[in-house]
Amino acid sequence: MVRLSLPYSEQDLMRISVGDEVELDGILYVGRDQAHKRMYESIKNGNPPPFEFEGNAIYYMGPSPSKKGDIIGSSGPTTSARMDRYSPFLISRGLRVMVGKGPRDKSVVDSIKEYGGLYLQSYGGCGALYHKAIKSVETIAYEDLGPEALLRLTVEGFRAICIIDYMGNVFAP
Amino acid sequence: MNLENIIKESLIKASRVLPWEIENKIALAYEKESGKYSKRVLGAIGENISIARAEDIPLCQDTGLLWTAVELGSRSGIDIYKLDKSIKRAAESAFLEGSFRKSIVSDPIYERVNTKTNMPIDILYEVVDSDTAKIMFLLKGFGSENVSRVKMLSPTSSEDGLIEFVLESVKLAGGKPCPPIFLGIGVGGTMDRAAYLSKKAFFKEGDKNDLEKKILKSVNSLGIGAGGLGGEYTALGVSLLDEPTHIAGLPVAITVSCWAERKAEITLKGGQSGEIVSSIL
């Protein structure tokens, strides 16, 4: 088990190897398909990113609504492969630590090799489990997208497995 | 309880608690799995199942597109118009009261505007020779729906061609659909009929006949494992339905379900004047 505090330092990322179980603590940004499309288009048009990419991690997720008294509903990962078309560009702009589920395209691996970064796989379908790791939630952009809005979470003991490490090594079963 | 409440409660329960036979299969796979990483995944799934039940929240944030089909008995005496309205109303209240994620967008090609209600739902009706109506619901998550496929095989492809297509599809899906998966397979009819059967297959007992067993064994020999991290349990069940087809074809459809195969089934008996007099859960 390796702990990773977020925002991260470059040295912390380098300590993590393929196959490690990682526990995340701290600030975790959340965005999925439409948020990626918007960030990509907006940055391409010369606008600044909606949050500081350097030092921060993004989690591919769209929560279910919270039950009365809770801060968030079920909050597990969505399929990362759908973000592959935007990730190489976003990695080049500093968004180098990603959390989702399932395999990534070679272009993502290559970008991590070039810029350094991590891809972590969280446990797919385990939305109730991750709901317990989330301590605060704030919507920071794209509220009109409903469950696809860009969020800032505080997490504690958020579990994932390293699939692509800093050097671009990929987990092989 | 009236019909709308029965449907609503069944849907909310389906989002939180898996059918016991599915939970059993997951627990058994956890016991037996020797792959280090996939065992870890199955362990997390087990924890998740307990938390969802204890906290009364959905197992997965993707509460799905509600796939709905009705086998309406020609002798049931049930008023189809009333039934249709009841199902739609019940679904809409389940989405709201059960904290389902609002996952439906209109204008799918361009604007993709969230309808904010998780509606509309589409209901497929089929008339059968019985005195009841069977309503079938799948809370169909799209991580797995996205890797579902249809192929028109050659009529001489036979069993080998079918198995080859299943294996190719499961390999292509890899870790994307939240394995261990459940497979619904529809064979025959036209392209759309095969696709329909591949979903209806989840409502019959699987892993029974030789073909289903053979497919399950072949899929599990791929070694994809839970979370796609390598292991013996890539699939936990295979259920296949077939129907007559054309001499020139062999349509095959595969619906992939994630480990959280969430579903509900309600059987109704009708009264004299089209009202629903009882339901068998």
The ipTM is: 0.96
Residue-range definition of the domain harbouring residue A103: 2-164
Task: Give the phi and the psi of residue B214 in degrees, each rounded to 5.
Answer: -65, -40
- Look at residue B272 and tell me whether its pLDDT is greater than 90: no
Catalytic residue among A32, A36, A101, A131: A36
The structural domain count of chain A equals 1
CA A127 → CA A25, A159, B16, B95, distances in Å? 17, 12, 11, 17
- A74 inside domain: yes
Task: Name the pLDDT band for B2 (thresholds 50, 70, 90).
Answer: confident
Average pLDDT, chain A: 97
pLDDT above 70 as % of chain B: 96
Which residue is closest to A67 within chain B, CA to CA?
B99
| Residue of B55, B63, B228 with shortest CB distance to A103 | B228
* Contact criterion met (CB < 8 Å) for B99 and A66: yes
Tell me the residue length of chain B.
Answer: 281
Looking at the domain that runs over B1-17+59-141+262-281, which CATH code has it been given? 3.30.360
* Contact criterion met (CB < 8 Å) for B61 and A61: yes
**CB contact at 8 A, A28 and A6:** yes
Question: Chain B partners of A36 at a C-beta cutoff of 8 Å?
Answer: none
A131 has catalytic annotation: no
- A173 inside domain: no
Which tokens in the block code for residue B278? 């009882």
How far is B39 from B50, CA to CA, in rounded Å?
17
Provide the pLDDT for residue A99.
98
Which tokens in the block code for residue B62? 């993707």
**Helices (H), ranges, A10-117:** 10-14, 33-44, 87-92, 106-115
- B16/chain A closest Cα distance in angstroms: 9
Question: Chain B partners of A70 at a C-beta cutoff of 8 Å?
Answer: 57
What is the average per-residue pLDDT within A137-142? 98
Interface of A with B (CB under 8 A): 19, 21, 34, 61-67, 70, 73-76, 78-79, 81, 101-103, 121, 123-129, 131-132, 145-148, 159, 161, 171, 173
The full set of domain ranges for chain B reads: 1-17+59-141+262-281, 142-257
* Contact criterion met (CB < 8 Å) for A73 and B61: yes
Provide the pLDDT for residue B160.
98
Question: Chain A partners of B35 at a C-beta cutoff of 8 Å?
Answer: 173
Provide the pLDDT for residue B277.
62
Residue of A22, A105, A123, A130 for testing the chain B interface, max B β-carbons within 10 Å: A123
Q: Provide the CATH number for the domain around residue A158.
A: 3.20.130.10
Q: What is the pLDDT of residues B155-181, one digit of tens each?
A: 999 999 999 999 999 999 999 999 999
Burial environment of residue A155 by CB neighbours within 10 A (0 to 12, 13 to 18, 19 or more): buried
- A169 inside domain: no
What is the average per-residue pLDDT within B120-145? 96
Q: What is the pLDDT of residues A67-118, one digit of tens each?
A: 999 999 999 999 999 999 999 999 999 999 999 999 999 999 999 999 999 9
Question: Chain B partners of A1 at a C-beta cutoff of 8 Å?
Answer: none
